Structure formats: structure tokens, C-alpha cells
Amino acid sequence: MPFIPHTPANIKTMLDTIGVNQINDLFNEIPTELTQSSQPQPSRHISSGLTEMELALLMQARAKQDAGRLCFIGAGAYEHYIPAAVWDIATRGEFMTAYTPYQAEASQGLLQLFYEYQTMMASLMAMEISNASLYDGASALAEAVLMAVRLSANKQSVILMPTTIHPHYCQTVRTIVEQQHLTLHDVAYDKATGKVTAASLSTLESATALVIPQPNFFGVLEEVDALTDWAHQHNILVIAVTNPIAMALLKPPGQWGQQGADIACGDGQALGIPLASGGPYYGFLCTRKKFARQMPGRIIGRTTDLEGKPGFVLTLQAREQHIRRAKATSNICTNQGLMVTASTIYMSLLGPEGLRRVALASHQNTRLLCEQLRTIPGIQLLFPSHYFHEIAIQFATPVEEILQNLAKKHIQAGFSLKKAYPELGNALLICATETKTAENIALFVDTLKECLREHDYVE
């Protein structure tokens, strides 16, 4: 096809042909308050880039900087042991260079892997179906909220969002849905227990969906059965936000209450994905089979060809690339396939019992850490409730100084809650997974005591 220059005459001919008066009419679905009349100027803070050698040297320096550090930070990204086989297999050329499996006949291996992933994730969540992943846990929750609105007969479009949900998830959901005329109603947590109670919801009976984190951001276990039953009694859908490792030990969303949650979502990073300075990770979303048509992303199905041979295909893929953008179920443009590949291998290697042992060891290490921390004067456990592998503790001294002093001794002590939850004062969220030994925990506690004494924080 010959090149046709974009001259004013040619553009006018194109517009006349499709029956549009001006270019801007092609974008009339974008609210006028979101448009701008001029092109944004490049940020002065964006560098011109690095050469391959410069980038390699930078990453080597960062790796040396992180080497030998003990990490007790959780807050949505968790350090778990990843068997060497996981990424040895995931980085094979067949997986590493693969993209979206549009041509089923040429992508049977990848499609089968995604099918196995969906089966494992649906089983882990005790749900009927799973999609083949989303960007991350935060955007997965936003997609779950939009899905609930499409499913609900309640036109209030009010989403009950406990403040015990990860603050970054809440920010992401607000950013994505705030232009879609949805109301996100904050639900306060009980200051004594760190969790939401059904009693706190008694005056909030008109809503589309209730989001329930398990565990919540403080590491506390919510009363999921009572909250789920309350929501369903008021014809409110339930969206579960879960840690997939925890679900190997705790009751999964599909078994919450009398009917189970309607949608389950979260971040899959804990399933074989390294911390990697913040990503890439991926999000998962599971639901009931009857809700499949409103599920974002894609679903891989198993079928047979004309000769009766089994095969795998893209069953549902209602995305903006396939249908008119305004009618798309989702605008997610990739499925983080390499991360899903790693998680599938990870879950295959560990199996149900292996995942349960990882979860149990993480919980036991956190219990040991909690017991030792509580012996230090000036430290208080904020919420004496059941927890999984994170706890919130409160100091009588500035938490930022404690973090800085421990960092100098190569210990990443936790996540400060002061900015997101100022009412908690000098509070720190601390996590221990199966990667921590008794010696690691003792070193952390002893170093913390030493830092407190050095800076006259304790007698």
C-alpha cells in the first residue's frame, strides 16, 4: 500500500468518508475537563537515558548495596524463597520472548500454562474461575470494583472500602474510578482490634459492594464470615482482597460465610516473583462462573479440534483491542505473562502442602518476632488480634529515626505507618516470612535494642 501523506485535504477526505466533522469528534468520549489545549512540556527531572554499559554498572552497584541486608518490610511485597528451577524455566526462550497468544495454533504451550495457572489460582481461592492475570493487586482491585458495578442491580454505585485496605490500593482505585461516577465510602476500623466489625457497617446498608481484605494492611485477620454474611443479607456483593500465600493456611474467599465471596483479587507477587525493586508484579482475579462475562482480562479454555484432539484457546477476551473501546469490559492491555509463568511453575513445584508450609513457617516466624519485640521497653503491639505474618508495633520514639539507624546496620526494619495512618503515631509494620531464621530474628531484636540505647530512647 502506498504511503498517503497526512495533508489537510487527505484528513478532510477521511473525515468525510467516516461521517465526522472534525478530528476531536473521534475523542468525544473523553470528558472535556480532562483534555488540555497544549502539549505538556517534558519534565526537567527525566534524564536522557543511559547506555547499556552504564545501566549494567548501575544495577551492579544497586545489587551490592542490597547484598547482606535483612529485610523485614512487607506491606504488599514479600520476600519469599524462590526455588532456582522457577526462573531457570521461566526465562527459557519459549516463555521469555512470548507475547499475547493471539494465534492459538502457534501458542499451545503458553495457553496450556495459563490454563493450568487459572486452575491453580481458582483452587487456591476456592472460586470457580480465574482470569489470566492483570497488572498488579491495586489495579486488580479497581477492575473488581468496576466489575461489581456492572453486576449489581443496585444502581447506587457505592463501594464500601475499609481503611484497613492497603493505602496504595485505595489510591489506585480512586484514580481509576473517580471519573466514572462511583462513590468510595471509607469504613473505619476498630481502634482496639485493628479490624472492621459488622456493627460498624450497620448504618451503611445501601451499597454495591463491600471490599474485605484478608489479612488486612495491619496484618490482622478480619472477621470475614460475619462481614460476608452481612453484605449478602443486604444484597451487597463481596470483593475479597487476599494474600495468596495466606490462603494456603486460612479459609479461602469462596468459603467465606454462607455463600462465599463474589470476587477475589490481589497481587501474585508472593508466588515466585522477586521483590525486584517494586516490579513487575501481576494481579489475579477470580469469581463465580455465572459472572464470567463481566470478568476483565482474558480466560483460557480447553477444547477439542475436529479430530478430537485436546487444545487450548482464548475463550473470553473482551478488551479494547478486540471491540470498540467504550464497550470493552477492560482496558488492560497485557497479562504480565512472564510473571504468571513463574507463579505457575512455583505453585507446581510446591504443591498445596508446600504452600501451606510456607504460610505456616511465615506465621511462626512472625509470632517469634512478636514475642521478642514485646520484651523491649517502649514497644507496644498495636492490635492484639489474630494475625498472619505481619504485625504493627508502636514506639515511644520517632519511627523514622529508628528506621534510619537500623538501615545503617543493614537491616530494613519495616514500613512506617505514620504517613498513611497518622492517628497511630510512631507505628511500624513489620513482616517475617519463611526466609527468616531464628538467628535473623534475634539479630534484628538485639540490633533494635542497641539502637534504642545508643540514642537514649530507652533507659
CATH of the domain at 107: 3.40.640.10
Residue 396 scores a pLDDT above 90: no
Residue 10 resides in a domain: no
**Averaged pLDDT, 234-245:** 96
Q: Quick check: bond before 215 cis, omega within 30?
A: yes
For the residues of 126-153, what is the DSSP string, one character each? T-SEE-S-BS-HHHHHHHHHHHHHHH-S
Strand-pair partners of 303: 311
Q: Domain holding 395: CATH number?
A: 3.90.1150.10
Q: Is residue 447 within 8 Å of 409, Cβ to Cβ?
A: yes
List of residues 6+ apart from 294 with CB closer than 8 A? 147, 150, 151, 329
User: In terms of domains, do 379 and 263 share one?
Assistant: no
Residue 52 pLDDT grade (very low, low, confident, very high; cuts 50, 70, 90): very high
Q: Is residue 392 within 8 Å of 382, Cβ to Cβ?
A: yes
User: In terms of domains, do 216 and 309 share one?
Assistant: yes
Residue 39 resides in a domain: no
The boundaries of the domain holding residue 407 are: 352-454
**Averaged pLDDT, 147-155:** 81
Residue 339 resides in a domain: yes
- Tell which of 324, 347, 370 closes a domain: 347
User: In terms of domains, do 334 and 370 share one?
Assistant: no
Residue 239 scores a pLDDT above 70: yes
- Tell which of 297, 322, 347 closes a domain: 347
User: In terms of domains, do 307 and 379 share one?
Assistant: no
Residue 416 scores a pLDDT above 60: yes
Report the distance separating Cα 209 and Cα 214, nearest Å: 16
**Averaged pLDDT, 29-48:** 70
Q: For residue 3, count other CB atoms closer than 10 A to its CB.
A: 5
Q: Is residue 383 within 8 Å of 455, Cβ to Cβ?
A: no
pLDDT of res. 200 = 81
pLDDT of res. 43 = 64
User: In terms of domains, do 170 and 301 share one?
Assistant: yes
Q: Is residue 216 within 8 Å of 192, Cβ to Cβ?
A: no
User: In terms of domains, do 407 and 285 share one?
Assistant: no
- Tell which of 347, 369, 394 closes a domain: 347
User: In terms of domains, do 303 and 405 share one?
Assistant: no
Residue 56 resides in a domain: no
Report the distance separating Cα 262 and Cα 241, nearest Å: 11
pLDDT of res. 64 = 80
Residue 37 scores a pLDDT above 70: no
pLDDT in tens, 350-381: 999 999 999 999 999 999 999 999 999 889 99
pLDDT in tens, 91-113: 998 888 877 777 777 788 899 99
User: In terms of domains, do 282 and 168 share one?
Assistant: yes
Global pTM value: 0.88
**How many structural domains comprise the chain?**
2
User: In terms of domains, do 329 and 212 share one?
Assistant: yes
Beta strand segments in 280-409, E: 283-287, 299-304, 310-316, 379-381, 390-395
Residue 268 scores a pLDDT above 90: yes
Residue 145 resides in a domain: yes
Residue 32 resides in a domain: no
**Averaged pLDDT, 156-173:** 93
Residue 123 resides in a domain: yes
Helices (H), 136-220: 137-151, 167-177
Output 432 or 323, whichever has higher pLDDT: 432
Residue 95 resides in a domain: yes
pLDDT of res. 197 = 85
* Closest by Cα among 162, 279, 258 to 214: 162
Q: Is residue 136 within 8 Å of 273, Cβ to Cβ?
A: no
Q: Is residue 235 within 8 Å of 399, Cβ to Cβ?
A: no
User: In terms of domains, do 235 and 357 share one?
Assistant: no
User: In terms of domains, do 357 and 342 share one?
Assistant: no
User: In terms of domains, do 166 and 252 share one?
Assistant: yes
